[in-house]
Structure 1
Amino acid sequence: MARANENMKNRFQITSLLFIVAGLVLIIIKEMYVKSNLWGEILNNVAVALFFGGIFEIMNEFYLKEKLVDLILNKLKLKETIDKTGITEVFSDINDIDYRFYMKKASRNIDIFHVYGRTWTNSHLETIKDKLLRSNCNVRVILLSPNSSFIMPLAEQFGMLEDELRTNIIKMEETWKQLYQAKITVKKRKTQSSLNLYYSESFPVYSLYRFDDTLINVQSKPSKGRTTKLPTIVCVDTNKGNDLYDMYLKEIEEIIVQSQEVDLN
């Protein structure tokens, strides 16, 4: 089969070269021997068609088809990567992530793990509140403990005082308590949702957001200062085990076990 394909390819290349040569020969004949304008025009058109047709076919064979094969192979490799790791999207700017889409779609579980996430929480407060009041979602939130030994290095990283960072964390605790109070005032028959808040002593290497079978990993900035240009991975549960979703979910569960639950009453 491979030999037959190679022979066909060789015949195709020879035919394309013959087209080019025939085109050149006709151009020479037209210039040297044909005096009639009519026949000269006809020969010229035929010569140009043969010449450029041959060139195009050679380009198509050697370049376009090669590019097409590369594209197909890359697509297959990408599909294999998605099937194996569960990665569906990669972002370089956190502003490009449509968290509301994932939150609205979630019907069972929402997990949130970040240092304190004031901007993130305030931006999605109404959507989270709606989930607590009108769904059966189990929402778990993990913040850095104000007493964590990592407060000092993180405050320096963020360019703020230690007390300022602690205050920001405690303010977000109050925000989650207010959401919890809003939830428990709703009659039980209307919602079976839950909200749990935890304080973690662990160093937050990155932020994690889980929405049912989708999980988002937002990398931290290694240098001082703040930016929205943070590499972000969106992955899904492939149901095959050992994918990124399972790995990150296991981390969330381990962090919760090692954390202290906050009384929201």
Structure 2
Amino acid sequence: MKKWFENDYFIRLWLSSILFTIIGGGMFVLAGEIEDSIWINILNSMGSVLIVSGVYNVVYEYILKSKLISLIIQKVKLKNSINKSGIIDVMFRSDDVPYKELIKETTSTIVVVHAYGSTWTRNYIEIIKEVGLQKKLNITVALLSVNSKFCDSIDIHYKKSVGNMVDSIKRTTKYWENMGEKLKENSVVKVYYFEGNPVHSLYKFDDKIVVVSNKISNTLSLNLPSFICEQNKETKQGLYQIYEEEIEELISNGELVYSNQEKKNEREKGL
């Protein structure tokens, strides 16, 4: 019983606060019974200090401090969850993603997974080409197959003419093919078509992956929540691993429609 009492911090806090308040109140009563003004002031002052201290202890320790501790614990748990997930940045708009910096920092691998991505490709293909000329990169692009049943559905969803999606995919494919021909002596460029559901766009830059959500509604907008996650080499768990597996599955099950190394490989086989 004694051990339980000594270890129960909040019970001791309440008892000490009540004791301070009672003693402080007693001093006020005692000050009312004497006539010496000096002692009256001393007792009143001491009584006020004790009562205020008792109330303050409860308010600070029990209410403010306990809530502060709970908040800290909550934030620590959140931080641990974020660290475990591998998320290093979150953006509320897709155009806030620092693609240029990520592309320029890439040293070996770029993977782009799009439904069609013609706008994104036009915006960043020149930067990718510059980096591909300076470094030996493996650039892999996965686009929705022109034979996918989703193509017509996406056109209807966004109130476009049927066939618009297929034209966009073909146009985007041509962008990558043209770039690949310019990089064939330095970097590998491959384009795949996949049959999956284009629920989000993925961009892999070495050990970082950018995930951009697509809107469920048919409103075209840049307000697409996005985040960047990085590889956790110690635990090999987290969002990076999840999306890397998805990328690998799409490519392994996809159809290779272009490689800037095909003719080179054929020449090597001939030799």
TM-score, length-normalised on structure 2? Answer: 0.77
Counterpart among 173, 196, 209 of residue 215 in structure 1: 209
Alignment correspondent of 2:268? none
1:13 aligns with: 14
CA deviation vs aligned residue, 1:65-113 (integer Å, no higher than 9, x gap): 2223323432443344345443444444323332333333322211110
Aligned pair in 2 of structure 1 residues 25, 195: CA closer, same or farther (>3 Å)?
farther
Contact 2:208 2:229 in 1 (8 A): yes
Which residue of structure 1 aligns with residue 263 of structure 2?
none
Aligned to 1:263, the other structure's residue is in SS state strand
Shift of 1:54: 2.7
Q: Distance in 1 between matches of 2:181 and 2:205?
A: 23
- Matched residue, 1:100: 100
Q: Percent identity?
A: 32
* Aligned 8 A contact 2:10 2:62 in 1: no
Which residue of the other structure, out of 240, 255, 260, is the alignment partner of 2:250? 255
**Matched residues in 2 for 1:100 and 1:27: separation?**
73
Secondary structure of the corresponding residue to residue 218 of structure 1: strand
Q: Which residue of 1 aligns with 2:112?
A: 112
- 1:3 and 1:42, CA in 2 relative to 1: closer, same or farther beyond 3 A? closer
Q: Which amino acid aligns with 2:139?
A: V
* Offset, 1:23: 4.8
Q: Which residue matches 2:239?
A: 244
After the TM superposition, which residues 171-210 of structure 1 pair with which residues of structure 2 at under 5 Å, given as runs?
A: 171-184=171-184, 192-210=186-204
Any conservation in 2 of the 1:214–1:235 contact (CA below 8 Å)? yes
> CA distance change for structure 1 residues 114 and 47 in 2, over 3 Å: closer, same or farther?
farther
Aligned pairs (5 A) from 1:1-265 = 4-6=6-8, 8-23=9-24, 48-82=48-82, 84-184=84-184, 192-239=186-233, 240-263=235-258
Counterparts of 1:223 and 1:63, CA distance in 2 = 45
Distance 1:42 1:141, change over 3 A: farther
Could you tell me which runs of 5 or more consecutive residues in structure 1 were left unpaired when the two chains were aligned: none
Where structure 2 has 5 or more consecutive residues not aligned to the other structure, the ranges are 261-271
Give the Å deviation of 1:133.
1.8
Distance 2:183 2:217 in 1: 39
Contact 2:90-2:226 within 8 A present in 1 as well: yes
Moved more, 110-119 or 93-102: 93-102
Deviates more, 1:250-259 or 1:97-106: 97-106
The 10-residue stretch of structure 1 (21-30 or 105-114) with the greater mean CA deviation from structure 2:
21-30
